[in-house]
Amino acid sequence: MHGKSENRDDYQDVPRPLAAMARDLPDGHHIPAHRHRRAQLIYGTSGAMTVVTDRGSWVVPATRAVWVPPGVTHAVTCTGTVRMRTLYLEPAAAPGLPGDPVVVSVSRLLRELIDEATRLPLAYEVAGRDGRLMDLLLLELDPHPVPALHLPAPTDPELDRLCSAIRADPGAHWTTATAAARTHLSPRTLHRRFPAATGMTLTHWVRQARLLHAMTLLARGTPVTSIAAELGYATPSAFTAMFRRALGVPPSAYFAVDGAAAEAS
């Protein structure tokens, strides 16, 4: 990218409302938890990324991005080769954008604008062609939330170990009874406390954990038949039906640009 910096710190105080950075990251690359002054749109044109904040985890394929407001601590893990294209926005330049992390759809136009923005110098000419391109990018940056794979983090420390165990083995047979035994709580107490701590029932949380795991496998090209078996589904069609109920499209369409565009329309 013409020698442009790959250090996020170099993008926080540039004298422009918008800055764009490109990084190509290998499978399994992890960006530790950090925060910065500017808002950020985290986007990759290939692979998938798991973005983790204290409010939960999201998995995003190449047709989607995560909006991270200013000052929110977040970490990123790559699945497959990820060509990450990141926007850093001066907070005052986007006052109407969401105040919480959210997954958004990326249109073809926005994708091309982001890609082109990464090629511009940090101190681009405001009055010239580059400035107009950035102005158009800001106009197109209108994040509308789309169905996303979100796994909320528990606010109850006692349930955190249970959630970690579910994430480690989402295909296990997680019933209220088995989960309660894991936490040394009564099923009735767990049934009451789990939704209070996560905003989801245990059954819903386990399903989301399975979907998150499935997405990382799909991003690596694992066949649906293998994913269904690993997650304990009797048939691939049963897994596909669950995926479609949760996200509105089958697994293949979730990664397809045309599928995302159709879903967003």
Domain termination residue (choose one: 85, 107, 140): 140
Percent of the residues in the chain that have a pLDDT greater than 70, as a whole number = 92
CB contact at 8 A, 181 and 190: no
The number of folded domains in the chain is 2
The predicted pLDDT at position 193 comes to 93
Report the pLDDT averaged over residues 69-88.
Answer: 92
Considering 50-59, 155-164, 178-187, 253-262, the range whose residues carry the highest mean pLDDT is 178-187
Residue 233: inside a domain, yes or no? Answer: yes
Predicted TM-score (pTM) of this structure: 0.73
Residue 250: inside a domain, yes or no? Answer: yes
- C-alpha closest to that of 159 among 127, 211, 197: 197
Residue 3: inside a domain, yes or no? Answer: no
Domain termination residue (choose one: 140, 167, 201): 140
Percent of the residues in the chain that have a pLDDT greater than 90, as a whole number = 51
In the structure, what pLDDT confidence band is assigned to residue 262 with cuts at 50, 70 and 90?
very low
Both 165 and 250 in one domain: the answer is yes
CA 110 to CA 210: how far, in whole Å?
30
Domain that holds residue 177: 153-264
CB contact at 8 A, 45 and 80: no
The predicted pLDDT at position 25 comes to 94
Both 219 and 121 in one domain: the answer is no
Both 93 and 170 in one domain: the answer is no
CATH of the domain at 217: 1.10.10.60
What sign has the CA pseudo-torsion 212, 216, 221, 222?
A: negative
Residue 145: inside a domain, yes or no? Answer: no
Report the pLDDT averaged over residues 47-76.
Answer: 87
In the structure, what pLDDT confidence band is assigned to residue 263 with cuts at 50, 70 and 90?
very low
Residue 63 DSSP one-character state: T
The predicted pLDDT at position 132 comes to 96
Both 127 and 159 in one domain: the answer is no
